[in-house]
């Protein structure tokens, strides 16, 4: 098999690693200082994303998109991570993390980083507003507009939004109102003209359901935030009253609400109950606009059950910065990334039957979003639903889109008499309600729906199609690193394998039998590595094998591409591999516990994070194995939750041609001089600042996929002409 190009025995990259250094015998691998904190390294990822908004090489509206992304992911951080830590504090948990921190310490340090990030966010948004003004996009205050424009906005608000607004008094007769998660609110101080007694009211800004954050002034490119329009027209809500002041606040609630599945009689009812409970979950953060009256600030904190010093975040600027997505999609092509249309997979060009293509080639590798989801995965399901030779379809479903064609293909398959079984994960965070609805729709179509295994999330991405071929039943399998979601498939970098390998087919059958029953006999797998039973031990064994190879005088190389590296056992094993002289490349998108480049501990490890146009989402595991190379792809990150609390799957990619494709992807990632960040041993990152004209990973992959597609088309046209101009038949 081919071996990756090397520098000093290490896969090629822009920053080679020196010859292996001898291990230090006095390093304590259990010492807390050897490990970084999961929450803090995740916040370091947010900072890298924020840098994209500050990078002049990035088109202006894409910079606005990146700053909006940071707002959304910080909201999620509070809902999931801070919420979970606060639950630990409330439960009296004092156990230290592997890096030596208590839950309270993690909250405090996270808050400090977030306050600094927020200041950076707001300063950057001010600079971006100036840039937007230079291209004719004005983010104006209501007061700065001419009277005619103010009048137009008032009339538009009165007609299209005002009926949705509900003021709520706050007095002894009206208790403090319920404030929904992520809602933007006006706190209004007012009194009667003849009575100076202060009164207060809360007014929710009715965002969503077609109501945007920014209102466009007529057909101009001038935009005004809705809350400003509301604040300047409060006489419509409180006629005849004297408005003293208007202040803005926004709340974030805990989303880490889960019940005990083992005690549930009905899992569906349990999840529905959790969704309802989440709406009323404790508030973990309140954001206020700078300048709020100190008495009002204290009252809000007290009413919402928060620590005024720790949990109140004063923002000098724009609250709810995730709402800037509205501006990022403005139709100004010259200030956005060039349009990207995924090409058809080169391996399927000109093939009229996807099952014939898989059978003849043995296996196909899919590269999203560079190759189209619709003409690969969706096509696989569509043809399976229509093909009279297909007998059964089995599939896992973790997330899908609101207008999913995947669901429709499954329903069509059932209507066409196929046996269809779907394992729907009801606990996919923030998609629970959608998945409940999809499960109901699938059941109504006569599809066998199960909800996975009690106590485990079903996170693997797998489709099994059983087809009656000319030589008997054959199993066709799709295994992927991403969800069956046509929208995120345009934005996330993922890999997928289409194969009819008999061993993988048998393993897939075994996996679905487990998913649909939950029974745990000694199931046998020949090639797939499923979690929670086999995957983690297999990874640790493969790491130890690379160590043994080095002890035998061979080269040891490990490359892992994952969204996060959090599991302590895997981290420790990688330290041991480095100490033994194994070269380790870790391409980790966000959280990473491991410290690279520590003398005597991790000299032979480097950690790279790639942040760019698309979200890096694929998981790849490579082991040199003495030259008999192993490549795996799948759904599992190197996180304890994935390895021991979820049903995950890694699949080997064995055909040499497909291994070469993965090798190309890995080499592009580690060689990236535009979008890559190198992690230092203290947990900070340094971006590789290549020239403006250098392509980053994602642009290189676009060109690579387009080149493969063009070559496949050229070969198809030449083949179609044939010696006498006749096209060959496709079985």
Enzyme catalytic residues: 459
C-beta pairs of 637-641 under 8 Å, 24+ apart in sequence? 637/562, 637/563, 637/564, 637/565, 637/566, 638/539, 638/560, 638/562, 638/564, 638/565, 638/566, 638/567, 638/570, 638/571, 639/564, 639/565, 639/566, 639/567, 640/566, 640/567, 640/568
Question: What separation, in Å, do the N-terminal and C-terminal C-alpha atoms of the chain show?
Answer: 31
In which residue are the tokens 């349009």 written?
Answer: 339
| Alpha carbons 269 and 201: distance in angstroms, whole number | 36
The answer to whether 585 and 565 have CB atoms below 8 angstroms apart is no
Query: Among residues 683, 537, 553, which one has the least CA distance to residue 609?
Result: 683
Q: For residue 113, what is the enclosing H or E element? A: helix 103-134
| Alpha carbons 619 and 665: distance in angstroms, whole number | 12
| Alpha carbons 666 and 671: distance in angstroms, whole number | 8
Backbone angle region of 671, left / alpha / beta, with phi > 0 → left and psi within -120 to 50 → alpha: alpha
C-beta pairs of 308-313 under 8 Å, 24+ apart in sequence? 310/107, 310/108, 310/111, 311/283, 311/284, 311/285, 311/286, 312/286, 312/288, 313/114, 313/115, 313/118, 313/285, 313/286, 313/287, 313/288
| Alpha carbons 319 and 322: distance in angstroms, whole number | 9
C-alpha distances (whole Å) from 466 to each of 357, 395, 633, 699 are 16, 12, 22, 37
| Alpha carbons 630 and 627: distance in angstroms, whole number | 9
Query: Among residues 592, 661, 729, which one has the least CA distance to residue 345?
Result: 661
Outline where 220-266 has alpha helix (H): 226-231
The answer to whether 621 and 632 have CB atoms below 8 angstroms apart is yes
Q: How many C-beta atoms surround the C-beta of residue 703 within 10 A? A: 12
| Alpha carbons 663 and 557: distance in angstroms, whole number | 13
Residues 6+ apart with CB under 8 A from 113: 40, 43
Q: For residue 644, what is the enclosing H or E element? A: helix 640-644
């Amino acid at each position: 098999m081919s071996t990756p190009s090397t520098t000093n025995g290490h896969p090629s990259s822009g920053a080679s690693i020196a010859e292996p250094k001898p291990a230090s015998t006095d390093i304590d691998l259990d010492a807390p200082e050897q490990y970084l904190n999961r929450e803090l390294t995740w916040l370091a990822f947010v900072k890298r994303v924020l840098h994209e908004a500050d990078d002049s090489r990035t088109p202006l509206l894409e910079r606005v998109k990146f700053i909006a992304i940071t707002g959304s992911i910080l909201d999620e951080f509070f809902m999931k991570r801070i919420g979970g830590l606060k639950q630990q504090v409330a439960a009296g948990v004092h156990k230290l993390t592997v890096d030596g921190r208590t839950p309270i310490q993690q909250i405090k340090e996270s808050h400090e980083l977030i306050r600094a990030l927020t200041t950076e966010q707001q300063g950057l948004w001010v600079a971006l507003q100036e840039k937007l003004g230079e291209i004719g996009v004005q983010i104006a205050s209501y007061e700065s507009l001419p009277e005619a424009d103010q009048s137009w906005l008032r009339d538009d608000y009165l007609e299209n939004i005002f009926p949705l607004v509900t003021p709520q008094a706050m007095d002894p007769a009206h208790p403090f109102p319920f404030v929904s998660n992520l809602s933007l609110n006006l706190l209004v101080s007012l009194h009667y003209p003849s009575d100076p007694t202060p009164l207060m009211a809360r007014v929710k800004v009715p965002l969503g359901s077609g109501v945007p954050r920014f209102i466009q002034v007529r057909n101009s490119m001038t935009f005004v935030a809705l809350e400003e329009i509301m604040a300047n027209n409060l006489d419509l809500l409180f006629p005849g009253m004297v408005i003293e002041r208007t202040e803005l606040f926004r709340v974030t609630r805990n989303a880490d609400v889960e019940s005990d599945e083992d005690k549930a009689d009905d899992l569906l009812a349990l999840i529905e109950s959790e969704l309802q409970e989440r709406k009323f979950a404790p508030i973990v953060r309140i954001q206020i606009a700078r300048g709020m009256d100190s008495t009002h600030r204290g009252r809000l904190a007290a009413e919402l059950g928060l620590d005024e010093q720790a949990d109140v975040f004063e923002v000098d600027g724009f609250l709810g910065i995730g709402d800037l997505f509205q501006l990022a999609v403005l139709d100004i092509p010259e200030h956005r990334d060039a349009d990207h249309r995924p090409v058809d997979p080169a391996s399927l060009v000109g093939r009229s039957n996807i099952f014939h293509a898989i059978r003849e080639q043995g296996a196909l590798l899919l590269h999203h979003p560079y190759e189209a989801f619709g003409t690969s995965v969706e096509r696989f399901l569509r043809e399976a639903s229509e093909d009279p030779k297909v007998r059964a379809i089995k599939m896992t479903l973790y997330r899908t889109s609101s207008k999913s064609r995947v669901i429709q293909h499954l329903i069509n398959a059932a209507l066409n008499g196929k046996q269809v079984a779907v394992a729907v994960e009801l606990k996919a965070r923030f998609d629970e309600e959608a998945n409940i609805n999809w499960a109901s729709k699938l059941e109504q179509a006569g599809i066998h729906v199960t909800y996975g295994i009690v106590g485990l999330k079903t996170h693997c991405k797998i489709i099994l199609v059983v087809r009656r071929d000319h030589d008997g039943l054959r199993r066709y399998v799709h295994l992927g690193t991403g969800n069956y979601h046509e929208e995120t498939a345009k934005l996330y970098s993922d890999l997928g394998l289409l194969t009819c390998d008999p061993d993988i087919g048998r393993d897939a059958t075994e996996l679905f039998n487990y998913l649909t029953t939950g029974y745990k006999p000694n199931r046998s797998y020949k090639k797939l590595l499923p979690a929670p039973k086999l995957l983690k031990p297999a990874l640790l064994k493969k790491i130890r094998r690379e160590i043994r190879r080095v002890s035998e005088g061979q080269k040891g190389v490990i490359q892992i591409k994952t969204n996060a590296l959090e599991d302590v056992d895997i981290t420790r094993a990688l330290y041991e591999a480095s100490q033994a002289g194994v070269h380790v490349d870790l391409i980790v998108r966000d959280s990473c516990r491991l410290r690279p480049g520590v003398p005597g501990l991790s000299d032979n490890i480097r950690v790279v994070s790639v942040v760019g146009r698309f979200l890096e989402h694929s998981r790849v595991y490579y082991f040199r194995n003495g030259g008999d190379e192993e490549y795996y792809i799948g759904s599992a990150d190197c996180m304890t939750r994935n390895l021991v609390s979820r049903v995950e799957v890694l699949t080997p990619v064995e055909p040499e041609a497909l291994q070469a494709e993965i090798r190309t992807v890995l080499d592009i990632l580690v060689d990236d001089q535009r979008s890559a960040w190198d992690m230092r041993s203290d947990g900070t990152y340094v971006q590789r600042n290549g020239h403006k004209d250098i392509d980053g990973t994602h642009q290189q992959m676009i060109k690579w996929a387009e080149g493969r597609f063009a070559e496949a088309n050229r070969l198809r046209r030449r083949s179609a002409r044939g010696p006498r101009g006749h096209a060959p038949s496709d079985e």
